[in-house]
Amino acid sequence: MKNKSLNKFLQKANAAKKDEFYTQLSDIEKELGNYKGYLQDKVVFCNCDDPEESNFWNYFALNFEFLGLKKLVSTHFEYEKPSYKLEIIKDINGDGKINKLDTIKTPLRENGDFRSPECIEILKEADIVVTNPPFSLFRHYVIQLMKYDKKFIVIGNQNAITYKEVFELIKENKLWLGVDNGGTKWFEVPDHYDITTESRKKIENGKKFFSMGSIMWFTNLEHKKRHEDLTIYKTYYESEYPKYDNYDAINVNKVSDIPVDYPGAMGVPITFLGKYNPDQFEILGNEYGLNIHKGRGYINGKRMYSRIFIKNKKIQPLNTY
């Protein structure tokens, strides 16, 4: 499915108020294993889940004691009626363990929308938010997390990187990509979802799965990968790295082609953010943030793909004397 078709599918889901893409437990385990130390004695809130279906809820409920959680809360969303929340706090059945059997179900006055006043009050009490928010509302979701100064680990489409609000947070090192950002991620979807492109769907054990291509983890929790230097080795040659017609920077087509010795601005693919180390590189901006003429880089009159503009912080500027 091309991006145009994928966007059309997501627009349909939004129009129908259906953003029901359920993250697989294996993907959750792979990513969240990198943050165990942050979860000790914390209140975790999954505020965009169907908790009785969600693998985020399942992961935390199954690992409540192992992770040392203080409290787990998840809210269920209903379109046009009041909903409910689930909580795990302590061993309430007296079996000496804290798990799903200790779940407390409480009715909500409102419908469980993450933007509702009721859910915002729960958010204020949370330490870390972990969920799969509606992709169609991703920018609004992140803005809310930042407004209430919350730590988070959430999943979203790669396209979210280009949103003005999200990109500015990345540039300011207030948000970054998680650890597991490679490979295809398959999401379970309800049976009523109409997926016409064969390469984007599969059926396993009677369940329908849909692949949305480049899916990323977004977080503001530190992890080791974020401070690993990107290994680069190519030498800069003017003939191999043309400059843009409308911006003083060289074009780099692949992240692996970033020259080791170039001190100036470079336009790199957005996939660079999966390798971005703020100790090694500085993000200058993108085409729109830098107000580049015509809104996109051009070389010899040809419009280029969207780029992020960076500098290598470990290279001294050219001598201008």
**pLDDT tens column, 14-40:** 433 444 567 788 889 999 999 999 999
Q: In this predicted structure, what is the pLDDT of residue 90?
A: 95
Domain count of the chain? Answer: 2
DSSP 234: P
Indicate whether 201 and 247 sit together in one domain: no
Task: Write down which residue in 225, 243, 273 finishes a domain.
Answer: 225
Question: Do 234 and 221 share a domain, yes or no?
Answer: no
CATH at 142: 3.40.50
Considering the domain architecture, whether residues 188 and 288 belong to the same structural domain is answered as no
- The pLDDT, as a whole number, for residue 21 is 66
Once rounded to an integer, what is the mean pLDDT over residues 107-113? 96
Mean pLDDT for the stretch of residues 255-264: 96
Residue 77 has phi, psi (to 5 degrees) of: -105, 130
Burial class (CB in 10 A: 0-12, 13-18, 19+), 255: middle
- The answer on pLDDT for 4 being more than 60 is no
Asked if residue 149 is part of any domain, the answer here is yes
Average predicted confidence (pLDDT) for the chain: 86
Whether 245 and 128 map to the same domain: the answer is no
Mean pLDDT value of segment 103-132: 96
Same domain, 220 and 239: no
Point out the domain boundary residue: 178, 202, 225: 225
Helix ranges (H only) for the chain are 3-15, 25-32, 36-39, 55-62, 64-67, 117-125, 138-147, 164-171
Tell me: do 158 and 199 sit in the same domain.
yes
Res 184 pLDDT > 90: no
**Letter for the amino acid at 68?**
G
Other beta carbons within 10 Å of 117: 9
Residues 147 and 65 in one domain: yes
pLDDT average, residue stretch 150-159: 92
Looking at residues 148-173, what average pLDDT do you find? Answer: 93
Tell which of 196, 225, 254 closes a domain.
225
**Cα(229)–Cα(261) distance, rounded to whole angstroms?**
15
Q: Is residue 317 part of a domain?
A: no
Are 37 and 168 within one domain? yes
| C-beta atoms surrounding 2 within 10 Å | 9
Give the number of other Cβ atoms within 10 Å of residue 177's Cβ. 21
Asked whether residue 138 is assigned to any structural domain, the reply reads yes
Whose tokens are 């009041």? That residue is 82
- Residue numbers of the domain that contains 304: 228-312
Compute the average pLDDT of residues 192-215: 67
* Residue 144 pLDDT exceeds 90: yes
| Range 198-223 average pLDDT | 77
pLDDT of residue 8: 47
Give the separation between CA 90 and CA 97, rounded to whole angstroms.
8
Note whether residue 205 is domain-resident.
Answer: yes
Regarding whether 253 and 131 lie in a shared domain, the answer is no
For residue 301, being part of any structural domain is answered with yes
**CA-based torsion, 112, 115, 117, 122: positive or negative:** positive
**Domain assignment present for 2:** no
Q: Are residues 70 and 13 in the same domain?
A: yes
Do 127 and 212 share a domain, yes or no?
A: yes
Q: List, in order, residues 6 or more apart from 36 with CB less than 8 Å away.
A: 67
- Pairwise pLDDT comparison (196 vs 88), residue with the higher score: 88
Q: Do 221 and 232 fall into the same domain?
A: no
Q: Where are the alpha helices (DSSP H) in 22-63?
A: 25-32, 36-39, 55-62
Of the given ranges (5-19, 161-175, 292-306), which has the lowest mean pLDDT?
Answer: 5-19
Is residue 185 over pLDDT 80?
Answer: no
